[in-house]
Structure 1
Amino acid sequence: MASFREKNGSWEYIVSAGKNPVTKKYEKITKSGFRTKTEAKHAARRVEEELKQGTYIGESKKTFGDFTEEWISHYEKRAKVSSVRARRIAAKRLLDEWEHYPINSITMEMYQQHIDDLSTQFSRNYIDSIHSTGRMIFNLAEKRKIIRHNPTNHFEMPRMVTDEVTEKVEELENFLEREELANFLLLAKNEGLRNDLVIFATLAYSGLRVGELLALKESDIDFKTNGISVTKTYYNPKNNKKEFSLLTPKTIGSTRTVEVDPFVISLIKEQIKLLKEEKMKHRKVYNDQGFLFVDPEGYPMPIKMVALRLQRLMKKMDINKHITPHSFRHTNISLLIEAQVPIGEIQRRVGHTDINTTMNIYTHMTRKTKEQASNLFSSHLSDLTAKLR
């Protein structure tokens, strides 16, 4: 039963909330500022009904920043460390705006406007990441009855005005043509540093992600079938060679076996022979965990080191393209397309769970393949064309 009192010219209600199951103490819900006793009675009646139905949500004073830290602690127990790091980065964009705001004061209008503003600065993928993170934070707040209304409900993704321009600029710039790849690998063979040829040849011939490559061990290679088993990926955001971890592959489809050219297997055999010599030479400090692509002390090479090796070689190439370690994956897919390998087999080899991802890569076909397709089409319809002239 609620009670009421007049205080400083306005009315206040006091509603018994029963015994707290944790503290074992009886609690009360109070709110003041009502102009009349009748208004206070109506408000108190709603609170009592919500308490009865178990739907009551109090006015939390918890800030968005405080609850986001709670959410991160919750999320860390359910996701890979790489995913947690990505979510932290995305959450920072929301914290910059609302870190000190009471979380229950953030409205749908505020949320939509903030994402709209961010969409003028960042890519669609990054905006998707920010919204997904915000959605998870507010969903947990709703589940824990910290907020009454979820501001991410009815969110509409803004139109990304830069998407079309970006796609045109980046088209056909992030992989090597067949002749370019041949020249690059010859350069790696003749002027490359230790491991360069085997690393970049394996990336180009297999389509592995660079993290998948650096996680490979001798036990992952089937020398009878020329297969490479992909079951893990290397993760090291701090680029400290001793502070790496091995995670599960990016998606379910990423766990796979990739058959490669015997040439690549021969390079890997030479690599294993070299590693045996290095283990003996540096046996006092060598950290032998069976990895194939390592520094002289046996630690997997950080991804940044692979990128620096690549940049060194690319400076010697007469190519005006922005090539990264991931570019060899696109190079591999483009060459598979050029070789007319069926799309389903390409999907399996590169580990795409969603075939639409593989289909989208077709937009990165080589110029030669496009010309070939045009010539094949013209040849196929040559008789009809002759009749129409």
Structure 2
Amino acid sequence: MANKIEKYNKKDGKTYYRIKAYLGMNPDTGKEINVTRQGFASKKDAELAISRLKVEFEERGYQKATSNTFQELYILWFDSVYKNTVKESTYVKTIEMFENHILPAFGSRKLDKISVTYCQATVNKWCESYTKYRVMRNYTARVLDYAVTLGLLRDNPMKKITLPKRKQVVDEEQSENFYTKEELLHFLSCVKSDGISRWYTIFRLLAFSGMRKGEALALEWKDIDFTNKKLTINKTLTRGENNALIIQTPKTRSGLRTISLDDNTLSILKDWRKEQAKDYIKLGINTMKPSQPIFTTYSNEYLQHATITNRMNRIIKNHDLKTITVHGLRHTHCSLLFEAEVSIQEVKERLGHSDIQTTMNIYTHVTEKAKEKSAEKFAAYIEM
């Protein structure tokens, strides 16, 4: 098999190179040994890396060449074990986690130098700085499990640590990442007053359906049944390799769902479809085909996630509104469903939660907020 060198771009816009080097055959399995590495600043650096790998393999053999350090073992684990078990968007995020957090701590360490003490100290440090420290610990443990499977380690030091508990910090901004009924209506009226139908339609749909941002961006007109007032959610727009936009099915089966839509939202969508067709026909684009995405750029490409985020931030700033995120509209929808006395199970199914606990957490938050206001309501009633 030939060696491969290819370019890719990171989110910062810089170009890097990745390699896939063929080293030979694994004498134990009879399979090809291909090693993938990335992060090279130039093609020359990538070519030198391939040469070094080949020399190392010839001099020291398979295990030492590919599993000498944690980083080399990680590459082997990623390519031969992990990559084919998850969606592209998932392994791209996993690569980012390793490159940004795990490899800086473990990458250059020899496997036999990774002790329980070092693992404990590293996870303690992660705990102080990152909310996802448990995920980072778990991925590190999976790589070291592979070392045990290959016979490179006797046991897994990461599994012997005591997982620290993160100090409870009340993040008021995060806990308030939703609008009340009045705040939502005011937000939507501000969006409408800006006079751009596309944005009003997007934010109305997000707020009145509880969809995830990626699910809304992946929608096609065939996904809406105007007659039966139904919306089918069966895909999501996400990021793949080289930061490219890709369409995927939802992560879990619960993400596949059909939900009802109210008459006003359906009417707004119908109006948007007419306006979209009128605007794009001038560019020679037929948007009336069933597979036409509902929300696109002016050149009829998928909208970037950041485009919606930036637009919402601009609306909030221009109209001096309470700051929430785009995902906060989903939280808003969920909260208002509970206020409307929709059952927990119905909310779970409508939002596509894979775990009832996710729904319960929001329910608990809403009911706690209601309790806080009970004293004010009582006083207002008595003093009328």
User: In the alignment, what sits opposite 1:118?
Assistant: 126
Greater displacement, 281-290 / 322-331? 281-290
User: In the alignment, what sits opposite 1:165?
Assistant: 169
Report the CA distance between 1:90 and its aligned residue.
2.3
Q: How does 1:1-389 map to 2 (within 5 A)?
A: 62-74=68-80, 75-92=82-99, 93-123=101-131, 126-161=132-167, 164-167=168-171, 169-170=172-173, 172-236=175-239, 243-283=244-284, 289-319=291-321, 321-365=322-366, 369-370=370-371
In the TM superposition, what whole-angstrom CA distance separates every residue of 1:17-64 from its partner, at most 9, and x where no partner exists?
xxx6579xxxxxxxxxxxxxxxxxxxxxxxxxxxxxxxxxx8886111
Normalising by the residue count of structure 2, what TM-score does the alignment of the two structures yield? Answer: 0.75
In the TM superposition, what whole-angstrom CA distance separates every residue of 1:287-327 from its partner, at most 9, and x where no partner exists?
985100111221121110001110111013333x4311101
Q: Distance in 2 between matches of 1:183 and 1:238?
A: 39
Distance 1:172 1:368, change over 3 A: same
Distance 1:239 1:153, change over 3 A: closer
Report the CA distance between 1:373 and its aligned residue.
6.3
Distance 1:269 1:305, change over 3 A: same
Kept in 1: contact 2:276–2:287 (CA 8 A): no
Q: Distance in 2 between matches of 1:368 and 1:66?
A: 50
User: In the alignment, what sits opposite 1:381?
Assistant: none
Q: Distance in 1 between matches of 2:349 and 2:310?
A: 30
Kept in 2: contact 1:65–1:98 (CA 8 A): yes
Report the CA distance between 1:218 and its aligned residue.
0.7
Report the CA distance between 1:375 and its aligned residue.
8.9
In the TM superposition, what whole-angstrom CA distance separates every residue of 1:150-206 from its partner, at most 9, and x where no partner exists?
122233220111xx2234x23642111111111111111111434111000000000
Kept in 2: contact 1:104–1:147 (CA 8 A): yes
User: In the alignment, what sits opposite 2:50?
Assistant: none
Aligned residues: 318
Kept in 2: contact 1:334–1:366 (CA 8 A): no
User: In the alignment, what sits opposite 1:31?
Assistant: none
CA RMSD in angstroms comes to 2.9
Kept in 1: contact 2:229–2:262 (CA 8 A): yes
The structure that is helix-richer by fraction is 2
Kept in 1: contact 2:123–2:133 (CA 8 A): yes
Structure 2 counterpart SS, 1:365: helix
Distance 1:192 1:236, change over 3 A: farther
Report the CA distance between 1:372 and its aligned residue.
7.0
Distance 1:143 1:377, change over 3 A: farther
Distance 1:356 1:307, change over 3 A: same
Structure 1 counterpart SS, 2:85: coil
Kept in 2: contact 1:172–1:365 (CA 8 A): no
Structure 1 counterpart SS, 2:258: strand
Kept in 1: contact 2:88–2:241 (CA 8 A): no
In the TM superposition, what whole-angstrom CA distance separates every residue of 1:239-283 from its partner, at most 9, and x where no partner exists?
97xx31011213221111111211111111112212222331112
Kept in 1: contact 2:348–2:359 (CA 8 A): yes
Kept in 1: contact 2:277–2:286 (CA 8 A): no
Largest Rg, 1 or 2: 1
Kept in 1: contact 2:237–2:248 (CA 8 A): yes
